[in-house]
Structure 1
Amino acid sequence: MSVGRTVKNRTQEIKGRISEVLGRVTRNRKLERKGKAERVSGNLRQAGEKARRAFRR
């Protein structure tokens, strides 16, 4: 897994967490859903990279 991809995926996950919490605090469901989707997307990309790396060996 390249460092650039790892950082990008992790950043997306953190950004999603922040958006999700902000949505909860402000009671903005649209922002909360968008944040959750971003967080999940970042997690899935990280999992995909880990799986790709496992099969390369």
Structure 2
Amino acid sequence: MGIAKKIAHKAETLKGGVKKAVGRVTGNRRLRAEGRGDQAKGNTKQAGAKIKDAFRH
């Protein structure tokens, strides 16, 4: 997997963490839920990339 995709997946995870934290601080449940979703999606993509890389080598 290319380095650009790995960076994009990591960025998505970080973006989700920031959204979640801002939602927690402001008391915005919708933003917090979006953040959790983005974080989970990024983590899933990262895990898939690791599995794919493991089978390539």
Question: What is the TM-score with the length of structure 1 in the denominator?
Answer: 0.95
Aligned length: 57
- 5 Å-filtered alignment, 1:6-25, equals 6-25=6-25
% of aligned pairs identical?
Answer: 35
User: d(CA) in 2 for partners of 1:12 and 1:56?
Assistant: 24
Question: Where do 4+ consecutive residues of structure 1 move more than 2 Å?
Answer: none
Gaps of 5+ in 1: none
Structure 1 residue 55 displacement after superposition: 1.1
Structure 1 residue 56 displacement after superposition: 1.5
Gaps of 5+ in 2: none
Measured on the aligned residues, the alpha-carbon RMSD in Å equals 0.7
